[in-house]
Amino acid sequence: MGDEGTTTAQGQEETETKRENQVIKALSACLIVGIAGAQTPTPIPALSGKWTLDPRAVECRAGAGASGIGASGIGAGCGDGGGAKDVCGENLSIELSADAIKLQRVVNGETLTLVLALDGSPVKRPVPPCRERKAPTDPVIAKLMERELAAVKEHIVAGSDDMTTKASREASRVVLRSSYSTGRGVNGDPPWLVIEQTQRLSLTTLGQLVVDTDRTATETTGRVIKTKSRLVYARAKAFDRPMP
């Protein structure tokens, strides 16, 4: 009788052990699947290529005091390529890899190239223009403007008006965060304008490149001016197709 009880107890114990082992195996399988899913890299957005601005899809939403930006010439035009932006202008070339983005534009006959690591490493360089700057045809006026610019530069600490940009991947978007100012004076005066901006690059379901820009300009008086703009680009070859 005692032997039968012992046998029954051992059988129950073996059954419980088997159940526990099955549960552990099931949980382990779920954990492995979860880890594998978490480690699956997000596909690289198809941003690479040559892009041409679609002027029909320019949008600008200015916040309070935005007219002050246009009046000062900083960011005039808001969404039409005005101001200093990394992604702007009519034509743009992008090379995107898993760890870096390369942006190229041609302004005033010069190719501007910016390469950014997607780990947030900062890159500092002179503020890039967004559009062509035509010199005055009158040589006297051109000379005066040149002297005025040189005089302004003499009163600014070299490099203090440079632009610093960082890049990162956020899901299917590439985000560029930049900051720059009008520069510190050699006499210790702070810059009269400091600008922070964020540009988000993404694709629409139709394959267009969308560039959303949030821009905040802060004056020494404490006034804050915010603007939002959107530029839409199509692949350059799309504009070569004949209209139906």
**Cα–Cα distance for residue pair 40/157, rounded to 1 Å:** 47
What does the block give as tokens for 117?
């690591």
| One-letter-per-residue 3-state SS of 28-54 | HHHHHHHHHHHHCCCCCCCCCEEEEEC
Q: Is the pTM of this model over 0.85?
A: no
Tens-binned pLDDT, residue by residue, of the chain (244 aa): 555 555 555 556 666 666 666 655 655 555 554 544 445 567 888 999 999 988 776 666 555 444 333 222 233 334 444 456 677 778 889 999 999 999 998 877 788 899 999 999 999 998 877 665 666 666 767 677 666 666 666 777 777 788 999 999 998 999 999 999 888 887 888 888 899 999 999 999 999 999 999 999 999 899 999 998 888 999 987 544 444 4
What count of residues does the chain have? Answer: 244
Residue 170, Ramachandran bin (φ over 0: left; ψ between -120 and 50: alpha; else beta): beta
DSSP 192: S
Query: Could you tell me if 216 and 68 are in contact, meaning their C-beta atoms sit under 8 angstroms apart?
Result: no
Class of domain 49-240: mainly beta
